[in-house]
Structure 1
Amino acid sequence: MTVLSRHSTSQGEIVYTRCLCGSVGVRLRPGTTQRPPHEVVLAQGPSAVPLPD
């Protein structure tokens, strides 16, 4: 998974990622002291589809 960008918010950190299949996801990493730390997947797109020749 590749991190595309990170943004601090009042709720924690929003992280935009791209997986090896090409799907783009949005994750929230809450800014809490909870253990273990957790993240919430807010959105995950479908796998990338190759363009026709």
Structure 2
Amino acid sequence: MKIIIIIGILIVLVILLLSVLTINKGYGYKHTIDPIDPLPEEDKEPKKER
């Protein structure tokens, strides 16, 4: 019975350790934003009324 409890505690500790490592890796990730492409020249000029 003691062996089962020890194995269960070890499994819980391993899962807890992996969770903490994953969370720390996520917080350490540097997010970047892609630059906005300039508008085409034809869109910058006002449209002519037909």
TM-score by length of 1: 0.22
- In our comparison, the structure showing a higher alpha carbon Rg is 2
The structure showing larger relative contact order (alpha-carbon pairs under 8 Å, at least 6 residues apart) is 1
1 or 2, which has the higher helix percentage? 2
TM-score, normalised on structure 2?
0.22
